[in-house]
Structure 1
Amino acid sequence: MDVRNCRQCGRLFNYLGGPPICQACREAVEEKFQQVKEYVRNNPGSNIQMVAEDNDVTVQQIRQWIREERLEFSADSQVGIECECCGASIRTGRFCEACKSRMRGDFSNAIQKPEPKEDLSKNKGLRDVDKMRFLKK
């Protein structure tokens, strides 16, 4: 059992994985997310700073939700974050489509299919017993 202090409120809780916050703080963050999601839906032209100020959420938290692909701004919005690979402006996730497709190709090339083994025996029709040889004294 892994007992930790919550990073937000300081209470002890049983840590199971994910961000090191207690269940009460996790639920509060989820409520804030739903509030931000509704705000973004109703105000498509708003930027990250405006969303953060109007909903009492940090800009860092909004960027985290965007990176997790939980939150996405509309195509006509000014909001954009940088691709972690090339720096291009993207609306959600960690990587742009070009970097994703390049990584997909790199990963598929990294995993090579095993080549079929050649059968080295000359007599393929013989059983293992037929292949044995005995020496006479």
Structure 2
Amino acid sequence: MNCPACGEIFVKNQFRDVCGNCWKEQEQAYDVVSKYMRKRENRAATILQVVEATGVDEELILRFVKTGRLQIAQFPNLGYPCDKCGSIIREGRICGSCAAKMREELDQFNKEEERKKQIQRNPTFFSKKS
């Protein structure tokens, strides 16, 4: 497949989704970010502060957080965007408010489906009065 970062052709495997050269660059970037975050005074840094201080792309840092390479339990101001609305979260794929909205929509859908089944089981016939 083609590397999503540089376009070079490579053999994709279960451990890497980029070519060998890009993987090495990502590992070097991880080392830079990791060293920066290990310093006590930097542990409260936000994503933007880490980007500015290290020069590593925000998307790559977010990938480190999402994959668990950077443990956010140790860094209170790190998080990643909700897949639905983009607000910063620290666990899962969507924030609490989006999850609640999705539950409401699912409940409403289930009620509508149940109503449709009820109508099919008990059809109502109307006659025209002359």
Deviations 1:66-116 (A, max 9, x none): 11111024557333346779x8842xx536xxxxxxxxxxxxxxxxxxxxx
Q: Choose between structure 1 and 2: higher strand proportion.
A: 1
Cα distance, 1:11–1:36 mapped onto 2, change above 3 Å: same
1:15 counterpart = 2:23: no
Deviations 1:23-77 (A, max 9, x none): 1110110111111011011111211001012222222221121111110245573
The two structures, once aligned, show a CA RMSD in angstroms of: 3.1
TM-score (norm. length: structure 1): 0.52
Aligned AA (1:8): A
SS at match of 1:12: coil
Partners of 2:5 and 2:43 lie apart in 1 by 30
Match of 1:35 in 2: 32
Match of 2:43 in 1: 44
Match of 2:62 in 1: 63
Structure 1: 5+ residue stretches without partners? 96-137
**Which of these residues, 22, 27, 34, is aligned with residue 25 of structure 1?**
22
Task: Kindly indicate whether the alpha-carbon contact (under 8 Å) linking 2:79 and 2:89 is maintained by their aligned counterparts in 1.
Answer: yes
Match of 1:78 in 2: 77
TM-score (norm. length: structure 2): 0.54
Cα distance, 1:68–1:94 mapped onto 2, change above 3 Å: farther
SS at match of 2:10: strand
Structure 2: 5+ residue stretches without partners? 94-130
